[in-house]
């Protein structure tokens, strides 16, 4: 752990894809995890997605030889999805115009200290599972500006 010039604690978190062809470092706070149940995320991740957002300038790619990007075809935000072209790990969700980038929580090296904050796009949840009654906000869509 290091401290910046204003004596605030600066955290450093690392992560990678399964094979190591994409490795990254986050220097700065990660937002708590959002669970997304949208059709695109379920298809991309094989089930729901669990992501933690970080300021884009706080993400540094340490190894990117495997990093590939694909435009997310039905994204309301016009987002791009980053993945490893060598092992197939889903890594990033990046929407133009946002100051943050979302990182697949499972690619972070723990312990992270993160917690699940809410469920998004519950209206698109798969019919093969039930969303838990976990006391967290459940948003019909993205949750941006939406009351739970």
**The tokens 């994204």 sit on which residue?**
75
Question: Residue 74 has what pLDDT?
Answer: 75
Question: Residue 147 has what pLDDT?
Answer: 38
Average pLDDT, the chain: 89
The pLDDT of residue 11 is above 90: no
At 79-119, the pLDDT tens digits run: 999 999 999 999 999 999 899 999 999 999 989 999 999 99
Q: Is the dihedral of CA 87, 93, 95, 96 positive or negative?
A: negative
The pLDDT of residue 23 is above 60: yes
Mean per-residue pLDDT, 128-136: 94
Instruction: Quote the percentage of the chain above a pLDDT of 90.
Output: 79
Mean per-residue pLDDT, 37-55: 95
**Does residue 143 fall inside a structural domain?**
no
**Does residue 140 fall inside a structural domain?**
no
Please enumerate in sequence order all residues whose Cβ is within 8 A of that of 93, keeping only pairs 6 or more positions apart, or say none. 49, 51, 72, 79, 80, 81, 82, 101, 102
Closest CA to 61 of 110, 26, 109, 11: 26
Instruction: Quote the percentage of the chain above a pLDDT of 70.
Output: 89
Domain of 64, CATH number, reads 2.170.150.70
The pLDDT of residue 148 is above 50: no
**Does residue 141 fall inside a structural domain?**
no
Question: Residue 51 has what pLDDT?
Answer: 97
**Does residue 25 fall inside a structural domain?**
yes
- Domain range enclosing 29: 2-124
Total number of domains in the chain: 1
**Does residue 72 fall inside a structural domain?**
yes
């Amino acid at each position: 752990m290091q401290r910046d010039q204003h004596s605030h604690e600066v955290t450093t978190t690392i992560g990678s894809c399964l094979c190591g062809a994409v490795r990254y470092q986050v220097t700065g706070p990660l937002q708590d995890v959002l669970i997304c149940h949208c059709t695109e995320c379920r298809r991309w991740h094989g089930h729901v997605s669990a992501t933690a957002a970080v300021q884009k300038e706080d993400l540094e790619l340490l190894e990117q030889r495997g990093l590939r990007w694909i435009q997310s075809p039905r994204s309301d935000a016009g987002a791009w999805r980053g993945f490893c072209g060598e092992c197939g790990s889903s890594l990033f969700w990046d929407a133009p115009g946002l100051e943050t980038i979302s990182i697949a929580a499972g690619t972070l090296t723990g312990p992270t200290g993160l917690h699940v904050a809410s469920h998004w796009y519950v209206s698109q949840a798969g019919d093969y599972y039930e969303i838990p009654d976990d006391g967290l906000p459940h948003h019909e869509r993205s949750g941006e500006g939406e009351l739970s």
